[in-house]
Structure 1
Amino acid sequence: MDGETVHIRDVETLAQRKGRLIRVTYDQQRRDGEQQRREREIYDNGNSAVILPYDPSRKTVLLTRQLRVPIFLQDGIERTVEACAGKLDGESAERRIVKEMQEELGYKIMNLQRLFELYVSPAAIMEKIVFFTCTYSPQNKVSDGGGLKEEGEDIEVVEATLEEAVAMIAAGEIIDAKTVILVQYLSDRMQAALRS
């Protein structure tokens, strides 16, 4: 894959298990016209989807609390609060996130609203995340959720008001970028609706 100013010289797989760590050697024409050879290590763990369900009558959202080893290694936090998410694994984002909601949160939802797609850390990670929201109510609950034990998931379902979720960001309880983005987006949207 080459572009107008970028020419890929080599892609070497350094490690591969669940994801793939690659070293890319490329030539880049700088804006001043000079050619420059560069190397970059990139982790490709697949694309994913994330959702923040919202109950408009109770003004609540559904979140998860679970172990994230990188956060534990960096900060010693054993369980972090975040939005329901999952790897696409070859499925459409819509189909995958409906399954993830049922597995992790215990809710069966079909009325998704696709918001946008973002790269959260594009300097070193290839993952593109599709962001969703949806409405839910207690009637949509089909199980206690918790994730799939065979995948090592041990997920606690957290229901909070949207206002509490905003406060959790300010207090440093929600430190996951995709969750902060969704909570802020939904909060801004609800405030705009109140003003109009």
Structure 2
Amino acid sequence: MIHTNRNRFEWGFKSFEWAVTRRNGGVEWIIERFDGTVEKVTRAVAQRVSRRGFVSTVTKVVVGGVVLPLLPVDRNFQLRNAHAEEFAKTAQTTDPKACNYWRYCAHDGYSCACCGGGPSVCPPGSYPSPTSWVGSCINPDDDKTYLIAYGDCCGKDSCARCECLHTEGEMPVYRPQLNNDIVWCFGARSMVYHCTSAALIGEA
């Protein structure tokens, strides 16, 4: 019984050794083919391109690869778009006093519609700030994206009604045009915050 098992083991080991040898031969053949192809391409390029031209091209490719990630690309577009789509699933277009009103996807503050004004109109006794932050909201009626300017109405005590806090697509304070935690009464006669309006600018 032991002798039989030993024979089986030796036969299995020889089979494995043969398979490894064959596989290594296959790998060597692939490497030789690859080396030959690279050599042919290199010789062809050397016959057609000067040494300086080749070095110049390689340098451009390397520098371009290093500089490309530094270009000013808006990498948050997809993230903001995803947030806007999520808000649009429950948004409505008929009641501006509700926080799921479609223009309020990036609204942060008390809605002026609940404070005696309208969704884009300041209540009497307050006045709009000349500055604002912006957001892109999807209108569920036509599934189009619109640019919304959120402006604070200033000059009266805080309304403290219909507080709608949506931070979709909000950026840190160093990107103030996309930050809604700032009191946007800069340049107004008073820095006292009353409510926030949401003016429709146009299709994004």
TM-score exceeds 0.5: no
Larger helix proportion of the pair: 2
Larger strand proportion of the pair: 1
What TM-score, normalized by structure 1, do the two folds share? 0.23
